[in-house]
Structures are given as structure tokens and as C-alpha cells.
Structure 1
Amino acid sequence: MRTSLDFAPLYRSSIGFDRMFNLLENASRVQAIDSWPPYDIVKTGEDDYQITMAVAGFSQADLTITHEPNLLVVSGQKAGEDNAQYLHRGISNRTFERRFELADHVKVADANLSNGLLTINLRRELPEAMKPRRIEIGTAARTPVEPQQIEANRQAA
């Protein structure tokens, strides 16, 4: 039995969280788990990440990397047909498409293919306006303040 979350009440009281609700809905959907090609995700620095995919048998011409807003799509498709008669086929050359949800401001720095491993380097680049900044605290010159009388003395009649 699958439980479905209804985010409609949250839409009425929150502004700008649409993407977060969409991510939660997508994560809750049951999808067939495809573990091919295998991959690793490594945090290499405070704002640097690396995805390494094992794509043995694929060349640079067979692979496509597409960076859309908040989404990285890596796909592979072998060009041409192999008519060889295999006695055992352990190296898969099937087409694939792997999607990675990216956080805001994460960009692809570069990608390399070496020894059957596709390495994609990612970097989070926050705009200057979003980076924390230190506010200097100044000193105010204190001048003596003369007390002022707000109401004059009243005489009782």
C-alpha cells in the first residue's frame, strides 16, 4: 500500500518552495531501480563534487552529457550494430540514461573519459549577492543631549 502525500495545503501558505515540493513528489514515486551503469558521487571539496560512471565500451562519441537547470542527464548509445556471434557477453553496451538532480547554483566544471570511467566535475558557485557578508559595526559619536520639557506646568483653577 502506497501512501501519497498531499502538498496542497502547503502551497497556500508558502511562496517559492514549488521546486522542493516537486522534488519530494518525484522522490516518492516508485520507479524501477536501474543500477547500470554503476556510479560514484564524491564530495571533493567544500563546493566541489565528482560523479564517476563506469561506461566500459563507450567512446566519447557514444556519450552525451546535458546540463539543464537543476538537472544533469548522462546518456549513452552505441553507434552501429554489432553482428558478432558472442559465446559470452559480459560487457553491456545497452543504451542508458542517468539523471541527477542538482542543487541550485551547481554547475558542470568539466567531464573526462579515461580507461572506461566517465568523470564529471561539479562546482557550486554562489552569486556574490547570496554569499554571507560581514557587516562592519561603526561607532556613533555621542553628543550630550539636553533634556527637553514636553509639557509646561499647569496651574489648577
Structure 2
Amino acid sequence: MRTFDFAPLYRSTVGFDRLFSMLDGASANEAQSYPPYNIERTGENAYRITMAVAGFAENELSIESRENTLTVKGEKADDKTEGAEFLYRGIAGRAFERRFQLAEHVEVRGATLQNGLLHVDLVRVIPEAMKPRRIEIATANGNAKAIETAAA
């Protein structure tokens, strides 16, 4: 696997620190595979992240949304099977932290835990100032023609 050192670029660029942080984060997240997840589009502006968190209870999971980053953490409160003797242990119960970069204007609408799957519902809310609008065109003789744009 190749690794890139962006340190020399940090010294010679101004305003691109977030870009380089995202590149550093992308290379660090490649090896992370637990827990498995799906990202699906459920509507025109609606999305859902589904994570397989078998063995975790609601109080052992935390979801935080901050500055275009969604963080899902899972920590087992206590392992009740410490006295047990396992012949094979294939169910992972280790702590995890998974981060997702969210696009601008994406909000978390809710989360549910059902059958060992954590569903996080997201929606993209476009501000009124960024939506297409209708503009009237006035002509010299006073007749106004309208231009209509399709809603995005």
C-alpha cells in the first residue's frame, strides 16, 4: 500500500487544509472494515446509512453530527461472557468508531436500531437562497415574459 506525506504541501498552501485533512483521512480509513455498512439513496434528497452492529444495545451506541462529519461509536458496557469457554468466537464485540463525511446541507433526521442493524436517516435540505427561482423579464413595451426553471 502506498502512503503519501502531505506535510510539505501544508507549508506552501493556504486555505486547502481541509482538502489535505480529507486526503489524510481517506488513506487512514481504507484499512477500517468493522462494522460493515451500506449507504443507500431512499429518495431524491434522502439517504440511509445502515450499519451491522450485532451484539450492541442502544445505550452502547452513540451518534454525533458535527461540521459535516457523522460519527458513530460503539462501546460494550461489560462483557458478560468472561467466564465462558469459547470453542470458536466469530461474533466481534469490539469497540469501534466510524466517521462519514457529509455533504453540505445534509442533516441527520433520526436513527433506529432494529434486528442488529443501526439505520441512520439523512436528508439534504437546500436553503431557499440556493433553490432555483423564477425571474420576470420586462420588455420595452411593458409586456413581461417569465422564465421558469426546474426545481432541483
Q: Scaled by the length of structure 2, what TM-score is found?
A: 0.77
Distance (whole Å) between structure 1 residues aligned to residue 41 and residue 10 of structure 2 = 32
Alignment correspondent of 1:62: 60
Secondary structure in structure 1 of the residue aligned to 2:48: strand
Alignment correspondent of 1:147: none
Q: Does the CA-based 8 Å contact 2:10-2:17 persist in structure 1?
A: no
5+ residue gaps, structure 2, are: 143-152
Distance (whole Å) between structure 1 residues aligned to residue 113 and residue 50 of structure 2 = 10
1:51 is aligned, of 30, 49, 52, to 49
Q: Is 2:70 the partner of 1:72? A: yes
Percent of aligned positions with the same letter in both sequences? 50
Secondary structure in structure 2 of the residue aligned to 1:97: strand
Distance (whole Å) between structure 2 residues aligned to residue 24 and residue 90 of structure 1 = 33
Alignment: residue pair count: 137
Alignment correspondent of 1:23: 22
Q: Which has the larger radius of gyration?
A: 1
Matches within 5 A, 1:1-157: 2-4=3-5, 6=9, 11=14, 19-27=18-26, 29-30=27-28, 33-82=31-80, 83=82, 84-141=84-141
RMSD: 2.4
Secondary structure in structure 2 of the residue aligned to 1:26: helix
Distance (whole Å) between structure 1 residues aligned to residue 126 and residue 18 of structure 2 = 18
Distance (whole Å) between structure 2 residues aligned to residue 86 and residue 120 of structure 1 = 33
Instruction: Tell me: CA distance 1:26–1:140, structure 2 relative to 1, closer, same or farther (3 Å).
Output: farther
> In the TM superposition, what whole-angstrom CA distance separates every residue of 1:48-83 from its partner, at most 9, and x where no partner exists?
111000011111111100111100000101111331
Distance (whole Å) between structure 1 residues aligned to residue 17 and residue 141 of structure 2 = 48
Shift of 1:127: 1.1
- Give the letter for the 2:25 counterpart: N
The structure richer in strand per residue is 2
5+ residue gaps, structure 1, are: 143-157
Instruction: Tell me: CA distance 1:41–1:3, structure 2 relative to 1, closer, same or farther (3 Å).
Output: same
Distance (whole Å) between structure 2 residues aligned to residue 98 and residue 26 of structure 1 = 12
Q: Scaled by the length of structure 1, what TM-score is found?
A: 0.75
Shift of 1:94: 0.4
> In the TM superposition, what whole-angstrom CA distance separates every residue of 1:27-68 from its partner, at most 9, and x where no partner exists?
3x4456121110001122221111000011111111100111
Distance (whole Å) between structure 2 residues aligned to residue 102 and residue 134 of structure 1 = 30
